[in-house]
Each structure stands twice: as C-alpha cells, then as structure tokens.
Amino acid sequence: MIEVCELSKHHGHLHVLRGINLTVRQGEVAAVIGPSGGGKSTLLRCINGLEKFQAGSVRVGELSLKAGGTKSEQLRALRQRIGMVFQQFHLFPHLTVLENVLSGPLWAQGRTRAEAEPEALTLLERVGMRDKANVRPEQLSGGQQQRVAIARALAVHPEAILFDEPTSALDPRMAGEVLGVMSDLAKAGQTMIVVTHAMSFARRVAHTVHVMHEGTVAESGPPEQIFGAARTEVTRQFLHEAMRH
Ligand SMILES: Nc1ncnc2c1ncn2[C@@H]1O[C@H](COP(=O)(O)OP(=O)(O)O)[C@@H](O)[C@H]1O
Ligand SMILES: [Mg+2]
C-alpha cells in the first residue's frame, strides 16, 4: 500500500506539488492523468525517493519517507520495493535482455544466478520476450524494449510499479502490445501507478483515476466518474483537450 500525505515540493520558487493526498491499496491500479507540467512525473519521483520534498510524507508498506530527506539505507530499501518504468525504457545498453532482467536480483538483492535465472526467463516469457533473451536492447523495437523494462521491474518482486508515460514514445501498435502486458499485470493483482495519456487504458484498467493539475489532485474517482460524470471543470477541460488528439 502506498500512502501520500500532504506532499509538498518546491523547485526553487516554483511550487510543483501543493499538498498531494493519494492512497493506492494493494492490488489497485491507479491512473494519473492531466495536462503536461502538472507534477505527475515529480510525484512518481518523490514516491520512489528520487526527489526530496519539503513537507508531507510518503509511505510504502512499512517504509516511510519524510520531508527533508531520508537515510540512504531506507532509500535503498524503498527502491527495491518499487519498480519504475520510464517513457524512454532506460535499459542497460551493454547488457543482454536477460542480464538486464537479472540486474536487480543479482546486484541489488544479492541473489544467486542459479536461483534468479529461471525466474527471469519466466518473466520474459510472460511479456513475450523469451526468444530475445540473448540479444542487446539496440536490436529491439521500442515496444519490445519496454516489455523488457517491465520484466526487469518485476524481477525484484516489487510492492508496486510506477509507470511514467510508458507508451508515449511508441507507435500505436507497439503501444497496444505494452498496454496489453500492463493489463495482464493488473489482472494478476500487481499494484501500480500509471501516469498515462492512454485514456482508453485508464478507463478500462484503472480502479481509480487521479487528475493532476498545477500541483494538486483536482479530482479522484473511479473511471465511470472521471470519464462519464466528472465533478470538476479541470477534468472536463482536460478530457475535452485529450479527446481532440
Ligand atoms: N528539476 C527541475 N527543476 C525545476 N523545475 C522542474 C524540475 N522538474 C520539473 N520541474 C517543473 O515542475 C513542474 C512539474 O513537472 P513534471 O512533474 O515533469 O510534470 P508532468 O510530469 O505532469 O508533465 C513543471 O512546471 C516543471 O517545469
Ligand atoms: Mg511527466
């Protein structure tokens, strides 16, 4: 379970997050939508400890982050509990697909290759990339790289996976393949927070949709509310714009 409480973050004099409250229960898929610059990426980066914040708190399971910074031990523990998938994949270019997936289990968790490798291959099977285990990322399409990135995120048995616009760099067919993998994860009960412009995914897969605007959560609710009976002008305006693209 992830609990963000009154989270406030400044970049210089820019107030980027203005008292965010958000809870994601175990097994829940939370979609975060909203206009560019609203603070969506910053929120994800605060949740996995990549950014400090000035007020409020973040709790992931029994680990908590407080304003002003957290001990490096705590941060290391936290990052092992949270997987992250980025728009630009960020695979290790010099490692094969399999070695990418093994990086967390071997380097961060100190597991043995004999124990971790069969599971890594199973994860690659799950994202449809088993037959590419021994190639390097540069030989793969963007959609394939992103599916490997998802397998890599899963390999450490994360409490939750945070996705930051995972399909924004992909053409529609490849985006569809990646969203298909993410839907399967959702069905399997993986807790995730997904920042996305893929409105049909948010509508179909998310349990809760949060609309972020200018550093606040303007509206939260089930997809039927957000897409069918929005309560705020911010949501209506954003969806109106999003549907035109
Ligand atoms: N490292 C940074 N330094 C200064 N301003 C930043 C930095 N990162 C993000 N911002 C600003 O914070 C705001 C929120 O950015 P971001 O979290 O990337 O929004 P989103 O992901 O919703 O597009 C924007 O105004 C952005 O320009
Ligand atoms: Mg962003």
For the CA of 195, the nearest atom of ligand 1: 21
Is pLDDT of 245 > 90?
no
Domains, the chain, with CATH or none: 2-243 (3.40.50.300)
Tell me which residue has its CA closest to atom 5 in ligand 1. 11
Residues 6+ apart with CB under 8 A from 87: 164, 165, 166, 168, 169
For the CA of 35, the nearest atom of ligand 1: 22
Reduced 3-state DSSP string for 117-165: HHHHHHHHHHCCCHHHCCCCHHHCCHHHHHHHHHHHHHCCCCCEEEEEC
**What would the pLDDT profile of 193-228 be if each residue is shown by its tens digit?**
999 999 999 999 999 999 999 999 999 999 999 999
43 CA → ligand 2 middle, Å: 9
**Pairing between strand 216-221 and 82-86?**
unpaired
Which residues, judged by CB distance below 6 Å to any ligand atom, belong to the binding site of ligand 1?
Answer: 11, 14, 16, 36-42
Considering the chain, what is the average pLDDT of its residues? 95
Query: Candidates 17, 32, 40, 42: which one to mutate for ligand 1, based on the most atoms within 8 Å of Cβ?
Result: 42
Phi, psi angle pair for 213, to nearest 5° = -150, 120
**What would the pLDDT profile of 149-200 be if each residue is shown by its tens digit?**
999 999 999 999 999 999 999 999 999 999 999 999 999 999 999 999 999 9
Question: Which residues, listed in sequence order, are joined to residue 58 by a DSSP beta bridge?
Answer: 4, 65
Output the pLDDT for position 97: 98
Output the pLDDT for position 214: 97
Q: Report the predicted TM-score, pTM, of the whole model to 2 decimal places.
A: 0.96
**What would the pLDDT profile of 108-150 be if each residue is shown by its tens digit?**
899 999 999 999 999 999 999 999 999 999 999 999 999 999 9
Q: Are 206 and 175 in contact (CB under 8 A)?
A: no
**What would the pLDDT profile of 43-93 be if each residue is shown by its tens digit?**
999 999 999 999 999 999 989 998 977 788 888 888 888 999 999 999 999
Tell me which residue has its CA closest to atom 6 in ligand 1. 11
**What would the pLDDT profile of 2-24 be if each residue is shown by its tens digit?**
999 999 999 999 999 999 999 99
Helical H runs in the chain? 40-47, 72-81, 97-103, 113-126, 142-154, 172-187, 199-205, 223, 233-243
Q: In what order do the strands lie in the sheet with 82-86?
A: 82-86, 160-164, 192-195, 29-33, 208-213, 216-221
Output the pLDDT for position 95: 98
